[in-house]
Chain A
Amino acid sequence: MKERLRTLRIYPALLALGGVVVAFSSAWAGEDAGMSLLNNRCASCHNLRGPAPSSIHALWARKAPDLFYAGNKFRRKWLISWLQKPVRIRPAGEFYADHIKPGPKRDMVDESTLKPHLALSAADAKLAADALMKLRAHDDLIAKEQVPEGTISTSMGSLVFDKFLGCMACHRIRKDFGGLSGPELYTAGERLKPRFMASYIRSPQAWDPKIWMPNKHVSDTRIIQLVHYLQALSKGGSHE
Chain B
Amino acid sequence: MSIDKDTAARVAKLARIRVEEDALPALAEEFNNILTFIEQLGEVDVEGVEPMTSVTPQKLKRRADEVTAGGHPEAVLKNAPDAREGFFAVPKVVE
Instruction: Specify whether A and B are partners.
Output: no
